[in-house]
Structure 1
Amino acid sequence: MTVPADPRGVTTVADRVVQKIAGRAVTEVPAAGGAARRVLGIALGDDELQDHPVVDAHVDGGVVTVDVEMSVTYPEPVADVAGAVRRRVDERVSSLTGLRVAQVDIRVTSLVTGTPATRRVE
């Protein structure tokens, strides 16, 4: 995106900058976490809360669209966490870049427990 800063020049915000801001905003929401990269729908690794979410952003003029892949802590309500993430991403991207966030699409790829599962052997 390019906006006139003043008569001396313009400011351009790259897609990658918005991606980083949005990714950081996701991690600021309790119960939201990272997602493993996927190829043909198959996870390459595990979905972990401490990992980074997968974020894609597109800047078109002064408008941004963001796609987020993330995990949610079980048993938190998925819709509530996704709504909180959507609001936080909108707030952070808007305040830090001056761009208008038109859409934040969220894909929850996994529910993760706060503690690793243990197997019981009898």
Structure 2
Amino acid sequence: MTVEAPERRGTTVVADRAVQRIAEQVVSGLGGVGGAARRILGVPLGADDPEQPANVTARVRDGRIRLAVELSVDYPDPVSRTTRAARERLVRDVGEMTGLVVDRVDITVTALHSDRSRERSLA
């Protein structure tokens, strides 16, 4: 069996959509975060729902990943600590799963959810 030199084997391309799905799974496994309503021109299409997955947009260019994440945070969890933990987990896990470098993660917190707001939405 002949082993080809690395430069002759070809390249592996990871699609934006694949990275997006991986990042969505990573975020869904985090505690203290929930989903965000889809938005068009800043106007929410529906309500922010802690039971729905976060909105993630991924862009892969030159072996580097940029993520934009919209999510909600459970109240009274500290927003800065929650988003920092989400960012660190995304960088680590998405990087490990794709073999690419995650060089930027922008997080937008669209809502804070408390047990009380969940009770109101169920009623």
Distance in 1 separating the partners of 2:98 and 2:41: 33
Instruction: Specify the alignment match of 1:50 in structure 2.
Output: 51
Number of residue pairs the alignment of both structures matches:
114
Provide Cα deviations, 1:37-88, integer angstroms capped at 9, x if missing partner.
0122221111111101111111111111110000001111000110011011
Which consecutive unaligned segments of at least 5 residues does structure 1 have? none
Instruction: Specify the alignment match of 2:20 in structure 1.
Output: 19
Q: Which of the pair is proportionally richer in helix?
A: 2
Deviation at residue 29 of structure 1 after TM alignment: 1.2
Distance in 2 separating the partners of 1:97 and 1:114: 36
Distance in 2 separating the partners of 1:10 and 1:43: 39
Provide the secondary structure at the position in 2 that maps to 1:12: coil
Residue 95 of structure 2 aligns to which amino acid in structure 1?
Answer: S
* 1:109 is the counterpart of 2:114: no
Distance in 1 separating the partners of 2:85 and 2:115: 19
Distance in 2 separating the partners of 1:53 and 1:77: 18
Residue 105 of structure 2 aligns to which amino acid in structure 1?
Answer: V
Instruction: Specify the alignment match of 1:76 in structure 2.
Output: 77
Normalising by structure 2, we get a TM-score of 0.85
Instruction: Specify the alignment match of 1:37 in structure 2.
Output: 38
Distance in 2 separating the partners of 1:23 and 1:39: 20
Q: CA RMSD in A?
A: 1.6
Deviation at residue 24 of structure 1 after TM alignment: 1.1
Distance in 1 separating the partners of 2:68 and 2:23: 9
Provide Cα deviations, 1:79-111, integer angstroms capped at 9, x if missing partner.
011001101111111100000011100000000
Normalising by structure 1, we get a TM-score of 0.86
Report the identity percentage. Answer: 44
